[in-house]
Amino acid sequence: DGGITQSPKYLFRKEGQNVTLSCEQNLNHDAMYWYRQDPGQGLRLIYYSQIVNDFQKGDIAEGYSVSREKKESFPLTVTSAQKNPTAFYLCASSTVTGIGNEQFFGPGTRLTVL
Amino acid sequence: GENVEQHPSTLSVQEGDSAVIKCTYSDSASNYFPWYKQELGKRPQLIIDIRSNVGEKKDQRIAVTLNKTAKHFSLHITETQPEDSAVYFCAASGGNTPLVFGKGTRLSVIA
């Protein structure tokens, strides 16, 4: 658990502003993921990356952007185009995507749009 | 793509009773099925997982069963305790695809 961190824990944003959520891991994992969690909706995949400098859209990528310049880091930007950004955001990592690969989650960032 | 359905959405049991949560999946290529537990305000944590070449797996009070023909898998918790109260998520993946999660089951164990 301690190998993947997110910051900040709580984030407040005014409408129309972009905001970037940080995710860092020291587990030497190749794959990293961003999920959005809303009450009763489970975990919905926003973006994922299997290797540095490459990433793929998940189910709800609209209004979000990511980068993967380093293996350890996978920041998520919530843009002003995201219509309802207030949610709990979870970052995760795994050795590789697919079979038998446990995903380890960060502690999450709770974003509130004022 | 894969679709995972999870039932029930809420479950209340008396302490000491058993709890069962069921999931179905749509993609026959899926071959990895983990279960995560998320306590209030905390991150999800893996509690047990099963692969498609195994029908059942146990770890103390927790067990998971898999029926590939019917495309469903279940979590069984025996002798429930108050600390088992949490939200439980099932998930499925296959090949080189990310996990797809169910919507979760909120389990309440009543002392």
What CA–CA distance (Å, rounded) separates B110 from B101?
26
> Å from B7 to nearest chain A CA?
12
Backbone angles phi, psi at B24, to 5 degrees: -120, 150
Q: CA A32, A36, A39 angle in degrees (round to 5)?
A: 145
- Give residue-wise pLDDT tens across range A29-55: 999 999 999 987 889 999 999 999 999
pLDDT at position B99 over 60:
yes
Within A8-108, strands assigned E span: 10-13, 19-25, 31-38, 42-51, 54-57, 64-66, 76-78, 87-94, 104-105
* Cβ contact, residue pair A105, B45, below 8 Å: yes
Interchain proximity B99–A102, CB inside 8 Å:
no
Residue-level pLDDT at A49: 94
What is the model's pLDDT at position A2? 55
Write out pLDDT tens, residues B79-88: 999 999 999 9
The sign of the CA dihedral B40, B43, B49, B51 is positive
pLDDT at position A37 is 95
Q: Is A95 on the interface with B (CB under 8 A)?
A: no
Q: Mean pLDDT for chain B?
A: 94
Q: For position B20, what pLDDT does the model report?
A: 98
Within 1-40 of A, beta carbons closer than 8 Å to B belong to 1, 31, 33, 35, 40
Model pLDDT for residues B23-67, shown as the tens digit of each residue: 999 999 899 999 999 999 899 999 999 988 889 999 999 999 999
> Closest-CA residue in chain B for A39?
B103
* pLDDT at residue A97, as a whole number: 66
Q: Whats the size of chain A, residue-wise? A: 114
d(CA A27, CA A24) in angstroms, rounded, equals 9
Give the whole-angstrom CA distance, residue B69 versus residue B12.
Answer: 29
Q: Between β-strands B32-38 and B56-59, what pairing exists: parallel, antiparallel or unpaired?
A: unpaired
Residues of chain A with pLDDT under 50: 1
- The 3-state DSSP class for residue B84 equals helix
Cβ–Cβ of B49/A100 closer than 8 Å? Answer: yes
- The backbone torsions φ and ψ at residue B108, rounded to the nearest 5 degrees and listed phi first, read -120, 125
